[in-house]
Structure 1
Amino acid sequence: MDYTPACLSLLLLSSLFAPWQGAEAQSRFTIDSVTLSVDPSGEISTGTFVDMSCQVIVSHDSSVPLTHSFNLLHNDVVVFSKKTTDDAFFYQLMPARAANSGTYMCRVTVQNKSKGSISKKLVVKGLQTPVLLVNPEMPFEGEEVMATCHALEESGSFYFYFYQDFEQIKQVRASGNMVETKLEMKYAGDKHLHCDYEIVMIGNTQRSNNSNTVKVTVKELFITPVMNILPGENVIEGDVVDFVCKVVSPPFPVSVFLTKDKKMLKEASTNLTHRLRVLAEDSGEYVCKAERGNLLREAYKSIRVKDLFSKPLLKMKPREVFEGEVFTLNCSSKDYSSERINSGDVKYSLYWNQVLLTSGGYYNATAHLSLNGNYSCQAYALDRGQNQVFKSSNQIVLKAKVPVSVPRVSVVGDRLILGKPFQLQCRSENGSLPITYSLLSHHRQVKSRVVNSPRDLAIFNLTSIHSITDLQSFSCKAQNHPSQPPRESSGEYLRRIANIIVPVSKPELSMMPTKVAEGQDLTLTCTVQRGTPPITYTWHHSALPMHSITINVMQGSYIIRSVGQEHGGEYYCITSNPSNDTERSGSLIVEVKLAPWKIFLIAVFCILLTVAIIVFIFVKKGLLPFRRKRTGDLSVKPASTKTDETLRLTHGTGIEAANATPGVMGRNVWSDNVSGSESDDQRSEGIPEVPDIEYTEVQPQEADPGRAPVKKGTETVYSEVRNSMQGRTGVLLHVQ
């Protein structure tokens, strides 16, 4: 119940503001203009005070003021914002610096409407002069001082530059207007330091003036080291040498170092001594270094160590050893220090793969794979202090060479095609490189090649061979030892292992039967005389492929069942084999005859046609005498004018003529006068026309009582009597 008065107060305030808010939400308005003013504007000097104001004009019908949201933008970035019912706001740059250069614009938002002013450009020339502080101002040489450079009123992205005696010594990038950094004072004396800076802005950069100059007095630091070598700089191996490195009366503690060839030998504070029993490889320059901070001082001394004896040299003879050959190793030192030792004081030991092989400097053996490895020699002698001085020789790697084995010659690609170029390869299974391979043909060298690496191959390009026996004439020689004879292969081996392909010969095409009729089976046989199987046979008819087979024999056949007229024409066959060559046979012309039954039908038809014609002719000839009989006249044509003999016909003769057939009658009448091979028509056509023809009527006599009459009644018989060319009389009778 304690919160009741507070709640009532809130409700009262809400009721007071609600009408205002409702009125603003329901008002109608438009933003007429937004104006930004900058004073002063354009190009100004750094440190100038700049006033900016933004004015908005809004037309509305609301009885209450509208709320304006003002945003001031610098290079499209909001730098100031304000919400107010006032129609203007004010902003100041106190003072303006280079970072304030750029484009300014004011944008006003009222409810859901927004409008911006015209952009105004402001250019601030010049930068604040930086200030440099240095601490300490009197350092020792090699020490570092802390330098601080700042321009507290500037802003932006900074690059600070530091100078010593007007020479730039350092550059630092900073996000703020101040930077601290360390500067090394390397050399003694008075140094003048100053700084400046650069601000990076959109579109350009500006560089400041130089800062104040700070004088720094760098005091010299006396820490130069002193170096001594005892007993001296010229010694002999085995001598003990002391290297002394120190700084005399340093003002501050310093560190000293002894180095040789950039290798640290010893380190100490202020001074050091390094003792060493020297060897020949200890000769050279030694450096004594004194260091404090970044300051470094150095001193140099050289020492020359004479060999007690020279480094032993290991030699092997011969330098290249083949398996089975004898080789020797010899180890010796060329020089020795006669002041300390004699030549016999130097002792040698030979090692094989770091295992003692023999005590002494000489060794010989027969080369073998088991003796391959690294050989070395170690020599030693006693120095003046009875200390052993050891020296090791160079290493020799023994890898006994393998004599070349008998080479094998083979065909590259595992096949050889007669009549085409091919390649042969010579190769030995064993043998150390390099190996010289020579290809021979008929025991004469054709080509040679030296193989120096496992990747190399002894391959020889050859033109062609035309018979299998030519292949065995090739052989190969291999040699990798100059004092050993070469090893030679056999051409017979090449002939046995080579896959030789003989191209197919020109095929011959034949047919069976040689004459074919419709309905018969036709066999086309394609034959080659030589060729490596498998052989592919392809038959063509009128340039079109018909059938193809691949077989392992020298002859292929193709059967055409029940040939017809469409199977006639040109045939040929094409053969090929793994040589990839093709051969074509000659053309074969096939003529398909008619079937026997068709020939029989045609023959029967012809016979029947002939018989029909003959019958027609006979029928025609048989009707002609009957036509003449119906005339009823008998005409007798005189055959000759020399006789007037009259042919008399009895009644009996007329009856016989009447009883006979026309054909028989005709033959009987003309049998004595006309040849049987001539017909009446032919004779009538061949006899010239005779104008005087006499006709005589013959009266029939009484019939013979002993013969039966053929016909009853009176019959008129006409007889034509003609004289033939032979003077004989011909008579043609027509009996009705």
Structure 2
Amino acid sequence: MCVCVCVCVFVCVTFWPKAYTINTVGLRILPNKTVESGTLVGLSCEVSVSHDPSLQLTHIFQFLRYDVPVHSVNTTDTKALYKLSPARAADSGTYECKVTVMEKSRTSDQQKLTVTGLQTPVLQLSKTVLYEREELIGTCSAPEEKGALTFYFYEEQVGPSGNSSETRLDLRLPGDRLLYCNYEIPTLSEAGRSMDSKQDSTLHISPIMNVLPSTTVYEGDIIEVVCKVVSPPASVEVYLTKDNTILQKANIGLSHRYTAKAGDSGELVCKAELGSMQKETYKTVTIKDLFSKPLLTVEPRDIFEGERFKLTCSVSSYAAQRIDRETIQFSIYRDDILLSKSHTYSAVAHSSQNGNYTCKASVTTQNNDFVKKIATLVVKTKVPVSQPTLSVVGGTVVLGKPFLLKCHSENGSLPITYSLYASKQKQHLQLDVKEVRKPGDQAVFNISGIQSRLDISKFFCKANNNQFKPEMRSSEDQLQHTAKIIEPVLKPMLTTHPTGDVSEGNRLTLVCLVKGGSPPINFTWYHSKREGALDSQTSPNDRASYTIPDVTGEHGGEYYCMSNNQANEIKRSNTVTVGVKLAGWKQGLIALFCILLIGALVLVFVIKKGLLPFKRNKTSELSVKSASTKVERLSLTQAEVNEAANGKVCYTDTESFIMSDDQNSVASPEGPETQYTEVQTKQVDPSRGETVPL
């Protein structure tokens, strides 16, 4: 019986996803959970994440008030801050912080913020001097409060309208009036009602402002700003401000002169203040550039070693009515060292040319010198990519199994694009493309498998880091010389020498042969009724043998062998049955014994046959019967005779024997009395297995 067992081992290349887990998310309210209105409050959210060191995680922090998002931050930091500057009553509520990292998210415990008090409102009037029965518009506002507010004028309620409200006031009686307003938040009744606004009188203190020579000038021009109040009270103060910076302060009026500079454009504010009452006037001043900031460009954008590059310094615009282009002087620097006093600089790219390049443009006028400098331009020479090498990851390829190919160039500035190709029917098919952008990354390609040793030479790769240069290609026969190709073993065949049954004491050799497979090959022999292997050998050839030098009866049975190599695919052979015969001298001894036994029986028969005539003289009928004698058969079947002749064991169970003639029987002389009985004989048919009387 032959048993064929095929064991297939599949190798799976698995890319484990990189692991991370969100441990905790905590939310704190600073400085306290209960604060007064106008306090700077910060909500600090911090997350703890355990992750693979190679992961660069981005945390999405989302602050929620009553489950509604109010602020979101994307950052790689583990902390985020949401500022309420300042906090107002409408900011009161229950807050949470939700952090999302890639596909996972976690929410902090809820924290309640309570803001007490309301901002004092501001009342503004459309007129400061009124006549009887004239109307004016009063605007009550709380600019820093949030949400819908309800305002009150003279205890008359006005519906919610954001953080300000406007109404018409009818002052029917003559004389000075002091007006005020207050408000409340309908959705936050516990905050109560605000304090009354500052009382506003009807005095007229609106300032006026003039900008000379114009609100639009060039840099270098002299600007004069006049800010004053017409017919003011003696105690009124005047301020000139820009971007919340006080430029000048005076009583009643002021004049401010300064030289316009690039970047001075903006809004000027002329403010008149009397006690708690303020009035403002605004003017926007525009400062035009005499010439724009210089621009430094490089050609080509990607600079490779050995190539010539050119830097150009230029301005995009200039005031033609004020200066000529020829009056603009340029200079180019590398690491603050002057390279050129021209608007261009050219050189052959080399690592020594790497550095921080800057460009300056200058103009000299009668009154001023103007110098403008561009931000630093970093120039780093790139190294052209070298010829790539294509190699097998691990160095070994098993036919029929997946493997990895790596394409790598020793030199070349990143990023480098690697492409894998395969030759098929005189065509080059692109299999995959990988871009290496960071140091340490590799271009590794997954190949499903090849079926022949020659297939490995069909692969090649290309590398490129300069779109204006041709790709560098790997050697065509590179893999054929560097890769180790492993061919899995085929099913082995087991043979014996000598063939057939083996006699005891002889030599038996079991030969295990494979018709395919890369050496070295491991051969192992087994006996079906014995535990463990009989022997194991590693051979550089396609066969190996196991020898039993002295065969005994216990060596009979079924044998098989198994083969394996570096492909790790174990194959089992056919089963061979070995029979063990007796040794030749044992067969001869048994045959001699049987022949001697037969000869002895024949001799006894002949002797007894010769005595019969003498006994017939005494009686014509003679029968021997002894009461103490046991009569048994002494005979051989034809089959027993044949077995003895073939060297098989011949035996007899005769304890005493009786010999008979054709018509007479011979009786043993033992016993005191003798009786004679006539015995009838018949012809024996050996084909029926009848015994031959001796």
The residue number in structure 1 matching 2:494 is 509
Amino acid at match of 1:584: R
Contact 1:255 1:292 in 2 (8 A): no
* Corresponding residue to 1:577 among 565, 578, 581: 565
* CA deviation string 1:437-468 (max 9, x = no partner): 24243774221525252376544444543443
The residue number in structure 2 matching 1:115 is none
Amino acid at match of 2:330: Y
Contact 1:539 1:546 in 2 (8 A): no
Contact 2:248 2:256 in 1 (8 A): no
The residue number in structure 2 matching 1:62 is none
The residue number in structure 2 matching 1:594 is 582
2:566 partner SS: coil
RMSD of equivalent CA atoms: 4.6
Quickly say closer, same or farther: Cα 1:476–1:232, change in 2 above 3 A.
Answer: same
* Corresponding residue to 1:449 among 433, 445, 454: 433
> How far does residue 322 in structure 1 lie from its aligned partner after superposition?
1.8
The residue number in structure 1 matching 2:536 is 549
- Distance (whole Å) between structure 2 residues aligned to residue 581 and residue 233 of structure 1: 90
- Distance (whole Å) between structure 2 residues aligned to residue 603 and residue 289 of structure 1: 144
The residue number in structure 2 matching 1:317 is 299
> How far does residue 628 in structure 1 lie from its aligned partner after superposition?
3.0
Contact 1:410 1:498 in 2 (8 A): yes
The residue number in structure 1 matching 2:312 is 330
Amino acid at match of 1:259: K
Contact 1:142 1:293 in 2 (8 A): no
Q: Which moved more, 1:612-621 or 1:271-280?
A: 271-280
**1:486-635 residue pairs with structure 2 within 5 A?**
486-514=471-499, 515-518=501-504, 522-542=508-528, 546-547=532-533, 549=536, 551=538, 553-554=540-541, 555-559=543-547, 563-596=551-584, 598-630=586-618
The residue number in structure 2 matching 1:391 is 372
- What is the aligned length? 457
Amino acid at match of 1:437: S
> How far does residue 344 in structure 1 lie from its aligned partner after superposition?
1.2
2:179 partner SS: strand
- Distance (whole Å) between structure 2 residues aligned to residue 617 and residue 189 of structure 1: 169
Quickly say closer, same or farther: Cα 1:500–1:244, change in 2 above 3 A.
Answer: farther
> How far does residue 410 in structure 1 lie from its aligned partner after superposition?
0.9
- Distance (whole Å) between structure 2 residues aligned to residue 351 and residue 423 of structure 1: 49
Quickly say closer, same or farther: Cα 1:615–1:381, change in 2 above 3 A.
Answer: same
Quickly say closer, same or farther: Cα 1:521–1:621, change in 2 above 3 A.
Answer: same
* Corresponding residue to 2:286 among 304, 318, 325: 304
The residue number in structure 2 matching 1:360 is 342
1:344 partner SS: helix
1:423 aligns with 2:409: no
> How far does residue 625 in structure 1 lie from its aligned partner after superposition?
2.2
Contact 1:538 1:545 in 2 (8 A): no
Amino acid at match of 1:549: S
2:517 partner SS: coil
Q: Which moved more, 1:306-315 or 1:553-562?
A: 553-562
The residue number in structure 2 matching 1:30 is none
Amino acid at match of 1:314: L
Contact 2:313 2:344 in 1 (8 A): yes
Quickly say closer, same or farther: Cα 1:499–1:277, change in 2 above 3 A.
Answer: farther
Contact 1:259 1:287 in 2 (8 A): yes
> How far does residue 328 in structure 1 lie from its aligned partner after superposition?
1.4
Quickly say closer, same or farther: Cα 1:493–1:275, change in 2 above 3 A.
Answer: farther
Contact 1:229 1:242 in 2 (8 A): yes
Q: Which has the higher contact order (CA 8 A, sep 6+)?
A: 2
> How far does residue 417 in structure 1 lie from its aligned partner after superposition?
0.8
The residue number in structure 1 matching 2:221 is 239
The residue number in structure 1 matching 2:91 is none
* Corresponding residue to 1:258 among 235, 238, 241: 241
Give 5+ residue unaligned stretches, structure 2. Answer: 1-119, 121-127, 129-137, 141-149, 160-168, 170-176, 622-659, 665-694
Give 5+ residue unaligned stretches, structure 1. Answer: 1-133, 135-139, 144-160, 170-186, 634-679, 686-736
Quickly say closer, same or farther: Cα 1:629–1:401, change in 2 above 3 A.
Answer: same
- Distance (whole Å) between structure 2 residues aligned to residue 542 and residue 583 of structure 1: 16
- Distance (whole Å) between structure 1 residues aligned to residue 588 and residue 316 of structure 2: 123
- Distance (whole Å) between structure 2 residues aligned to residue 217 and residue 681 of structure 1: 168
The residue number in structure 1 matching 2:393 is 412
Amino acid at match of 2:288: K
TM-score normalised to structure 1 length? 0.53
Quickly say closer, same or farther: Cα 1:605–1:274, change in 2 above 3 A.
Answer: farther
- Distance (whole Å) between structure 2 residues aligned to residue 553 and residue 470 of structure 1: 24
- Distance (whole Å) between structure 2 residues aligned to residue 409 and residue 254 of structure 1: 82
- Distance (whole Å) between structure 1 residues aligned to residue 496 and residue 552 of structure 2: 15
Contact 2:490 2:515 in 1 (8 A): yes
* CA deviation string 1:687-723 (max 9, x = no partner): xxxxxxxxxxxxxxxxxxxxxxxxxxxxxxxxxxxxx
- Distance (whole Å) between structure 1 residues aligned to residue 263 and residue 197 of structure 2: 51
- Distance (whole Å) between structure 1 residues aligned to residue 417 and residue 615 of structure 2: 124
- Distance (whole Å) between structure 1 residues aligned to residue 403 and residue 382 of structure 2: 33
- Distance (whole Å) between structure 1 residues aligned to residue 362 and residue 196 of structure 2: 68
Contact 2:522 2:565 in 1 (8 A): yes
2:301 partner SS: coil
Amino acid at match of 1:190: L
2:616 partner SS: helix
The residue number in structure 1 matching 2:179 is 190
Amino acid at match of 1:507: P
**1:340-379 residue pairs with structure 2 within 5 A?**
340-379=322-361
* CA deviation string 1:80-121 (max 9, x = no partner): xxxxxxxxxxxxxxxxxxxxxxxxxxxxxxxxxxxxxxxxxx
Amino acid at match of 2:574: G
- Distance (whole Å) between structure 2 residues aligned to residue 194 and residue 484 of structure 1: 73
> How far does residue 310 in structure 1 lie from its aligned partner after superposition?
3.0
Percent of matched pairs sharing the same residue: 41
> How far does residue 534 in structure 1 lie from its aligned partner after superposition?
4.9
* CA deviation string 1:353-405 (max 9, x = no partner): 333221111111111122123323211112341x1112234553322332110
